[in-house]
Amino acid sequence: MTPDKLAYMANQIATAFARLPDDEAEAAIAAHIDQFWDPRMRARLLSLAESPKTGLSDRARGAAALIRRPETA
């Protein structure tokens, strides 16, 4: 999956929680990604969030700090 597609998907999730305050939205985004995303997708998103110009919304980037880190092999 391309970085643009991952950013797009994370931003869609962030939009779904737009009505919540920032801290609650970031927790909800992270919970959703933890529950439904494959560990490889989570790892790629976390790498993406480390770069400043990736197309991630502020809330999606903030949620990255709360996402469960995939176990390494």
Q: What is the separation, in whole angstroms, between the first and last Cα of the chain? A: 20
pTM for this prediction: 0.90
Q: What is the pLDDT of residue 39?
A: 94
Instruction: Give yes or no for a contact between 12 and 45, defined as CB atoms under 8 angstroms apart.
Output: no
CA distance 24 to 6: 21
pLDDT tens for each residue of 7-34: 999 999 999 999 999 999 999 999 999 9
Q: What is the pLDDT of residues 35-58, one digit of tens each?
A: 999 999 999 999 999 988 889 999
* Per-residue buried b or exposed e for 14-32, using 16+ beta carbons within 10 Å of the residue's own CB: beebeeeeeeebbebbbbb
Read off the pLDDT of each residue in 59-73 and give the average, rounded to a whole number: 86
What number is the average pLDDT over the span 50-68? 92
pLDDT score of 73: 41
